């Protein structure tokens, strides 16, 4: 069963742009509006953040957006309803990214079935152990056509990268630095060497680089080594100060694309 993410990577287009934003932020019902604007602006993948009360891997920008989204009344059931609305007008691959706790509270099998029915294509659950995924989750998720993405970092052992490559059914999320999320000024020599190592590793799964991608320059650098790049904190910063979401999103994506 091939979903929208897998079809996108099979097309072999380079410099894919994936945009992460927290569902229910800045306002509860902005989720659908932002997705439509991203499609119009030319993004390739939408990553919808599942708000959680303790987003420990995220920097202050995404942490704040999580709190505001929860205060707005966002929850997982409502998020899936919003994905259904998104699917009426938006054809981009849609990934849900978040922590395993809300998914477990919802019910794993129920969540997988409801997410697939709503139009979700894949999941990124960074705190789900890969051993647990392989034994308990893989069959459930893949059975309804949901692909799973796992994170690696500069400190991830080669044997673990190889195992993640074998388990991945979409792409590998290469975290640019062993730190929390957040926009950075650029990449260090060590980071570029890490990207080069991954590029030359002959992995079967395509790579998407995230954490620290904030502008046209860092997007260009990352996509010299990977199929695409993921922007999160810089985009949420834009949402936090925007007075015209559609116009500002179009300008943001255009600026990122100018260097590609």
Sign for the CA dihedral angle at 196, 197, 202, 204 comes to negative
Residue 12 CA from chain centroid, whole number: 19
Cα 156 to Cα 27: distance, rounded to the nearest angstrom:
37
Residues in the chain, overall count: 260
Question: Can you tell me the distance from the alpha carbon of 106 to that of 218, in angstroms, rounded to the nearest whole number?
Answer: 37
CA distance 212 to 110: 34
Per-position DSSP letters for 195-250, written without gaps between them: HHHHHTT--SS-EEEESS--SHHHHHHHHTTSSEEEE-HHHHHHHHH-S-HHHHHH
Q: What letters, b where the CB count within 10 A reaches 16 and e where it falls short, cover 157-174?
A: eeeebeebbebbbbbbbb
- Whether the Cβ atoms of residue 110 and residue 140 lie closer than 8 Å to each other: no
Catalytic-residue membership of 121:
no
Burial label for 121, CB within 10 Å (0-12, 13-18, 19+), is buried
Q: Which of 30, 44, 58, 114 is catalytic?
A: 58
Q: What is the dihedral of CA 115, 55, 107, 120, to 10 degrees?
A: 10
The catalytic position among 30, 47, 114, 121 is 47
Tokens 């303790």, residue located: 54
Q: State yes or no: is 58 an active-site residue.
A: yes
Catalytic site positions: 47, 58
């Amino acid at each position: 069963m091939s979903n929208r993410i897998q079809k996108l990577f099979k097309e072999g287009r380079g410099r894919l742009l994936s945009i992460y934003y927290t569902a229910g932020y800045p306002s509860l019902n902005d989720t659908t509006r932002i997705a439509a604007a991203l499609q119009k602006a030319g993004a390739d993948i939408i990553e919808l953040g599942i708000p959680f009360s303790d987003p420990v891997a995220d920097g202050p920008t995404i942490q704040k957006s999580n709190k505001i989204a929860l205060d707005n009344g966002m929850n997982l059931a409502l998020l899936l309803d919003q994905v259904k609305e998104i699917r009426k007008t938006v054809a981009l691959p849609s990934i849900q990214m978040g922590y395993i706790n809300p998914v477990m509270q919802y019910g794993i099998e129920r969540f997988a079935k409801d997410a697939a029915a709503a139009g979700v294509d894949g999941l990124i659950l960074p705190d789900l152990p890969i051993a647990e995924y392989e034994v308990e989750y893989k069959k459930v998720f893949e059975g309804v056509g949901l692909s799973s993405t796992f994170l690696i970092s500069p400190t991830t052992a080669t044997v673990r990268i190889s195992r993640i490559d074998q388990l991945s059914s979409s792409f590998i999320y290469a975290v640019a630095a062993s730190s929390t999320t957040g926009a950075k000024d650029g990449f260090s020599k060590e980071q570029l060497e890490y990207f080069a190592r991954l590029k030359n590793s002959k992995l079967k799964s395509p790579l998407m680089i995230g954490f620290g991608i904030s502008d046209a320059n860092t997007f260009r650098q990352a996509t010299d080594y990977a199929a695409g790049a993921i922007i999160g904190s810089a985009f949420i910063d834009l949402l936090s100060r925007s007075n015209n979401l559609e116009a500002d999103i179009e300008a943001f994506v255009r600026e990122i694309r100018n260097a590609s």
